[in-house]
Amino acid sequence: MTTTGTPGPSPDDLAARPRAAAAVLLGTVVAANVVVVWMLFVRGGFAANALILVGRFTGLYAAVVMALQLLLVARLPWLDRRVGTDRLTSWHRWTGFALLWLLLAHAVFTTLGLAQDSELDPVSELVHLATTVEGVLRAVVALLLVLVVGAVSARAARRRLAYETWHFVHLYTYVAVVLAFAHQVAVGTSLTASPFARGYWWTLWGVALGAVLLGRVLLPLYRNLRHGLRVEAVVPESDDVVSVYVTGARLDELPARAGQFFLWRFLTRDRWWQANPYSLSAAPDGRRLRLTVKAAGAGSAGLRHLRPGTRVFAEGPYGAFTSLHRTKPDVLLVAGGVGVTPVRALLEEAVGHVVVVYRVRAHSDAVLLDELQRLAHARGAVLHVLTGPRAGEDHRGPLLGPANLAALVPDVRQRDVFVCGPPGMTTAVLASLRELGVPRDQVHFERFSFAS
């Protein structure tokens, strides 16, 4: 395939440090909301008892965290390209747990506070509130939904549940959001006390829900209607790896970069409901997209049987594993197993001197090796293929340990490093790079798993 993708780091990319810029913007937005909500809290006065005040405080901040939660998973292209879907999802996960505790605290302290004033016991007070005050029952249902979502998102539960089951349960969060918003409008006196408070509140929720609608619904619909993607060919690469070529109209206008991924949904009768993330395994050339998939479960194994002409619904492009984040003229690309897919695409468009380290168990597992060799040759890049069992070592230590990496790439500290492989390998390489003193902003990685 010819390369027409965006080349290496542009002077603008280098100047802007895109991830830092996005983090600063996001941090500023969060800080501004914290200040405004504090002002709303103070303006609400301190006449109530201390328990009610704590309930009001945690309720206000729970609402802000809930809006932030939506923004983090809205998949807005500007943010996603700079921060990365994996990081955003991870922040979403941790703020999700903060939200859960804030909501619980809001419910418990408010109920205890009101019970103290009314001299009812807390359970009777809650029942009384839910059955007599408009909006409270909605809040109770919203809290129960968030508790269920929190429980299925705990690590132990995630491991046991099929991805689709977890995802389906997670969608109930949107019901919780609507119920919580209706609750705030009905009983949130701090939020409706003044035109400023009302304006702020509607803006906050308008932006959060608008971002989700735009990033998760409208943009994917628009892109798929515009490009009309279809499977062009399915090419086996080995017994358990297959490449799928996808074509469509005006693909040169699709803003995808090497290193990014899409959520692919192949619209056959038995798999239209399943969307899986796969990276582009070739730099987009304006005519077709390619993904290369290793059989991990039934879904990925079944791609081998796709027929040319099958319609495709793809959400994306997503991810920050791209040359947008280059900071140095030269680069080291490290791939493990099927993690070679985005690395292969990055090699195609990389500028500067490139070293590729490809870690596999045996040569026969080295997917796309021919292509890597050809590309490396054409670009004057150095390619090292390291074989051996998972814990393989030589006289210098682990194959991707600091001593071996330093021996293979003596100037590693002067390079950008892109790492993609199984979670264990990626963690080990990141540790080696830390030990070798490679600055953090030169290290970029994709784990092939979202928040865990």
Ligand X SMILES: Cc1cc2nc3c(=O)[nH]c(=O)nc-3n(C[C@H](O)[C@H](O)[C@H](O)COP(=O)(O)OP(=O)(O)OC[C@H]3O[C@@H](n4cnc5c(N)ncnc54)[C@H](O)[C@@H]3O)c2cc1C
Contact positions vs ligand X (CB under 6 A): 163, 261, 275-279, 291-294, 296-300, 338, 341, 446, 448-450
Cα 331 from Cα 411, distance rounded (Å): 10
Nearest-approach distance from CB 268 to ligand X, in angstroms: 14
Q: Which is nearer to ligand X, 193 or 295 (CB)?
A: 295
Q: Which is nearer to ligand X, 184 or 341 (CB)?
A: 341
Cα 403 from Cα 395, distance rounded (Å): 10
Q: How far is CA 271 from the centre of its chain?
A: 23
Q: Which is nearer to ligand X, 339 or 402 (CB)?
A: 339
Q: Which secondary structure element, helix H or strand E, spans residue 416, and what is its range?
A: strand 415-420
Residues ≥6 apart with Cβ < 8 Å to 414: 328, 330
Q: Which is nearer to ligand X, 297 or 397 (CB)?
A: 297
Nearest-approach distance from CB 291 to ligand X, in angstroms: 6
What residue number has its CB nearest to ligand X? 297
Q: Which is nearer to ligand X, 142 or 275 (CB)?
A: 275
Contact call for residues 269 and 436 (beta carbons, < 8 A): no
Nearest-approach distance from CB 191 to ligand X, in angstroms: 36
Q: Which secondary structure element, helix H or strand E, spans residue 164, and what is its range?
A: helix 163-170
Phi-psi category of residue 352: left, alpha or beta, with phi > 0 → left and psi -120 to 50 → alpha: left
Nearest-approach distance from CB 270 to ligand X, in angstroms: 12
What burial letters (b/e) apply to 227-241, b meaning 16+ CB within 10 Å? bebbbbebeebeebb
Cis peptide before 342 (omega within 30 of 0): no
Q: Which is nearer to ligand X, 340 or 417 (CB)?
A: 340
Residues ≥6 apart with Cβ < 8 Å to 399: 359, 386, 388, 392, 393
Residues ≥6 apart with Cβ < 8 Å to 168: none
Q: How does DSSP classify residue 309?
A: T
Nearest-approach distance from CB 241 to ligand X, in angstroms: 7
Nearest-approach distance from CB 420 to ligand X, in angstroms: 8
Nearest-approach distance from CB 220 to ligand X, in angstroms: 14
Q: Which is nearer to ligand X, 25 or 267 (CB)?
A: 267
